[in-house]
Amino acid sequence: MTAAPEDIIAKLNEIKTSLPAQVTLVAVSKTHPNEAIEAAYGEGQRVFGENKVQELVDKAAALPKDIEWHLIGHLQTNKVKYIASFVHLIHAVDSEKLLKEINKRAAQENRVINVLLQMHIAEESSKFGFDESEMMALLDSGRIADFENISVAGLMGMATFTDDENQVRKEFTSLKNTFDLLKADHFKDGAFNTLSMGMSGDYKLAIEEGSTMIRVGSSIFGVREYS
């Protein structure tokens, strides 16, 4: 159930005041009503994340235009066209095929779309993302430079859903090491500066391990409602 506006405001401010200056908070508003987003917006929050394209499109049309919308869920190539004109950052880019489609749609909109390359770091097979060998093969090929309407802003990853903090920390450390390696060897222009890792249950660990962007939903808006 979505929290009351006053509770959303209290939780949002509690989290924001605890964050280091270099960490961006993405308020994950998926399945929550516009009124919940408006409550957070009224407190100065401008970065919101959605994981379903249609819900993102509907909310972007109805809510203030200075919101930075992040698409944080798995994105199918046939859905890119619906968000290409306005999305600020696509987090879960997990294939070269998807990169090509984003680049094509961005060119049609005469804009550059920021993306994060998703790495598979969890033990769960259900999570998407490049493995390290796939990532290195793509970057070593030089083909990513052909995508002139994409800016690769960094990496994103999701840790295993477990109570084992050592496991989660190990996965976050692995992603940070990959991020540092790619920044040094493949992305030296300064645009590659975002490491999106950490959600409601593990964002404090993620920050300790070097996250610069956290995706927090239920800790702000309450437990999600699924129809």
pLDDT, one tens digit per residue, over 79-131 is: 999 999 999 999 999 999 999 999 999 999 999 999 999 999 888 766 689 98
The string of pLDDT tens digits covering residues 202-225 is: 999 999 999 999 999 999 999 866
In a domain, 227, yes or no: no
In a domain, 226, yes or no: no
In a domain, 58, yes or no: yes
In a domain, 184, yes or no: yes
Bridge partners (DSSP) of residue 166 are none
The string of pLDDT tens digits covering residues 164-204 is: 999 999 999 999 999 999 999 999 878 999 999 999 999 99
In a domain, 154, yes or no: yes
Rounded to two decimals, what is the model's pTM?
A: 0.95
Supply the Cα-derived Rg of the chain in whole angstroms: 17
Helix (H, G, I), strand (E, B) or coil at 203: helix
Please tell me the predicted confidence (pLDDT) of residue 124: 72
Residue-range definition of the domain harbouring residue 125: 5-221
Please tell me the predicted confidence (pLDDT) of residue 106: 98
In a domain, 57, yes or no: yes
In a domain, 36, yes or no: yes
Please tell me the predicted confidence (pLDDT) of residue 189: 79
Average model confidence (pLDDT) for the chain? 94
Please tell me the predicted confidence (pLDDT) of residue 118: 96
In a domain, 52, yes or no: yes
Q: Which of 19, 12, 58 is nearest to 3 (CA)?
A: 12
Spell out the residues 6+ positions from residue 28 whose beta carbon is closer than 8 angstroms to its own: 48, 49, 50, 51, 72, 199, 215, 216, 217, 220, 221
The residue that leads in pLDDT, 145 or 37, is 37
Tokens in use for 190? 């300064």
Question: Could you give the angle at which helices 34-42 and 5-18 cross, rounded to 10 degrees?
Answer: 50
Query: What is the count of structural domains for the chain?
Result: 1
- Indicate which CATH number applies to the domain containing 179: 3.20.20.10
With bands split at pLDDT 50, 70 and 90, how would you rate the model's confidence at 226?
low
Q: Which of 223, 173, 153, 227 is nearest to 8 (CA)?
A: 223
Range in 23-27, 42-46, 50-54, 222-226 with the lowest mean pLDDT: 222-226
Helices within 34-163 (DSSP H only): 34-42, 53-62, 80-83, 96-108, 132-141
> Can you tell me the mean pLDDT for 2-7?
95
